[in-house]
Structure 1
Amino acid sequence: MRLPPFSSLVALEAAARHRSYSRAADELFVTHGAVSQQVRKLEEELGVQLFARRGNQMEPTPTGAALAAQIGAAIDTLRQGVDGARRAASGPIVISTGAAFATRWLVTQLARLSAETGELDLTIRVEDRMSDLATDGADVALRFGEGPWPGVESVRLIDEVLFPVCSPALLERHPIDKPEDLLHAPLLRHTGLPWSTWFHAMGIEAPQLPPALGFDDSSMMLDAAAQGLGVALARSGIARRDLGDGRLVRPLPGEVDVETGHHFVWRAENPKLPRILKLRDWFLKETEGERAR
């Protein structure tokens, strides 16, 4: 069954609460006549009297009072829902990201990110696990991997390539002019980036490499390389700052394309979606030169 117009229901509730059409009109920013007309139309539609005049007051009938009470409860429920939606759309945008990308790339861009998007309310959450963006309070994930992932939207920001890096001081101590020279240089190991990947791409059948300092954190490995402890196999997405600052150099031009990359990930149903999409567009523009595919 079709409901009466919402404006008529609101007029009834206000008039019953104030016992006055005039005061209801003031609350609703309409005229006395408009409230009277809305109530009259509602009475005609329902086929029942909702108000009776008692001196200077408009008293709701028992039916009118009962209906007004239910409308008031419904309005309170609607108001709570709207307030909840407003709160959900406001507040900080929580960005989940891995430690290496956070410290090597993101932290250098935060000032420009806020200034150019106008988004000042950001919370950066550094964590090793993959945020699900549904139950853990994160709004955006800067994920490293192949993508895409089920249940979320994603765009690729940076295509990864792998290449050797070292400190300028180490390069002076261990001149490296060709890929084979790396076989005689101290090599830093990463548990997820075997040197064999790069050597095979360069056409070199690498022998069993001797024991060396190993890491499971890419950022720490780059710091170790910058201290001259060895040559690291770096991911392009997190080595940019160190190469630009001169802390690290590339001793050889050879590099290897890999399927993994950095992605901007979000959920389409997030109530902060307009703000999230604005951030997405900024990240895409900022990394435009780092995507080859």
Structure 2
Amino acid sequence: MKNLNQFHLSGLRAVEAVARLGSIKAAAEELGVTVGAVSQQVQKTEDQLGVQLFERQNRAVLPTAHMLGMQPHLTSAMSSLAAAIATTRRGREDALTISVAPVFAGKWLVWHLKAFNKKHPGIRVRVEATIDLVDPDTSDVDLCIRVGRGPYPGLNAEKLLNQRVFPVCSPKLAAEIREPADIGKLPIIRDPGQMFTWNAWLSLFGLDESILQDGPTFSDGSLCLDAAIAGQGVFLAWETLAVYAVKSGQVVSPFPERPATGLGYWLISGTSAPRTKAKAAFGDWLREELQNSIGRPKGADVAPG
């Protein structure tokens, strides 16, 4: 391995990321550095190797035959390094790294995490808000909270809560709603990335999406909820997103029915890492806190989970 002394790990990481992700910009975002820094590392590595690793074509970078031969070995090596580092962080009883979607982190977790910190002051929680799927067996992430249908083969996955949906809007707009069909007279706030449709709720009343009007579209559930708070229309929200806004009176839920979408919230951990007291404590707290925070009104559970 003496020949490795000639090369910098940062340069090898840079060329591997560029080849795997297909662009210098994407590699810079993953590595947390500037585009210029990645370009410099790539150039230095090419100079050290004495070969060209990428062809520059306008803004694109294409791997040469040399890079194509190197990439599988580099990617495997970087994965092994990440796994080796992760093993040093697993099993700690005083720290947890939680991977969670940004919407759940911002609209539910940050409002409740103080309760966990108060109950377990000796456990430090680090939250990674990302939509990327993380493998807890090969990363330093201890637990993941994800929304999906499950199951998750090869991982420890526990279903925490069924996802249920219901319309929300500003109090002013709610005054115009007397029956479910009245929602069709108002602007509808949409999130094209949602994994369910309005029919999940409308079908309870013999209605479908054909009655719905146009309205603003946002590619983020938090922004959709903010638009509903601002009175821009009616949004089909889910409980962990909107529960605080409903309780605080920022939005109104005109009807109690909250059908299940078929999706659920899952607590996911790796199979190779030990089950620590810190993980168990967070899991116990999360189950209880989710159930207690929802506060479904009478008549909400109209569909089996």
TM tier relative to shorter chain: 0.5 to 0.7
1:218 aligns with 2:221: yes
1:140 aligns with 2:135: no
Given the superposition, is the C-alpha separation of residues 85 and 142 from structure 1 closer, same or farther in structure 2, using an over 3 Å criterion? closer
Percent identity (aligned) = 27
- Return the offset for 1:274: 2.6
Question: Distance between the aligned counterparts of 2:115 and 2:187, measured in 1?
Answer: 38
Question: CA contact under 8 A between 1:88 and 1:272: conserved in structure 2?
Answer: no
The aligned runs of 1:75-224 (5 Å cut-off) are 88-90=90-92, 92-172=95-175, 175-191=176-192, 192=194, 193-207=196-210, 209-224=212-227
Question: CA contact under 8 A between 1:158 and 1:237: conserved in structure 2?
Answer: no
Larger mean CA deviation between 283-292 and 246-255 belongs to 283-292
Question: CA contact under 8 A between 2:190 and 2:216: conserved in structure 1?
Answer: yes
- Return the offset for 1:233: 0.2
Query: What SS does structure 2 have at the residue aligned with 1:115?
Result: helix
Unmatched runs of 5 consecutive residues or more in structure 1: 1-83
Query: What SS does structure 2 have at the residue aligned with 1:255?
Result: coil
Question: CA contact under 8 A between 2:166 and 2:201: conserved in structure 1?
Answer: yes
Supply the RMSD in Å over aligned alpha carbons. Answer: 2.4
Given the superposition, is the C-alpha separation of residues 187 and 224 from structure 1 closer, same or farther in structure 2, using an over 3 Å criterion? same
- Return the offset for 1:119: 4.3
2:273 is matched with 270
- Return the offset for 1:131: 1.4
2:233 is matched with 230
Amino acid in the other structure paired with 2:91: A
- Return the offset for 1:225: 0.5
- Return the offset for 1:85: 7.1
Question: CA contact under 8 A between 1:98 and 1:128: conserved in structure 2?
Answer: yes
Question: CA contact under 8 A between 1:176 and 1:252: conserved in structure 2?
Answer: no
Name which one, 1 or 2, has greater alpha-carbon Rg: 1
Question: Distance between the aligned counterparts of 2:89 and 2:209, measured in 1?
Answer: 57
Question: Distance between the aligned counterparts of 1:180 and 1:88, measured in 2?
Answer: 53
Larger mean CA deviation between 268-277 and 257-266 belongs to 268-277
Deviation beyond 4 Å, 4+ runs, structure 1: 84-87, 289-293
TM-score (ref. length: structure 1): 0.65
Given the superposition, is the C-alpha separation of residues 260 and 85 from structure 1 closer, same or farther in structure 2, using an over 3 Å criterion? closer
Given the superposition, is the C-alpha separation of residues 285 and 211 from structure 1 closer, same or farther in structure 2, using an over 3 Å criterion? closer
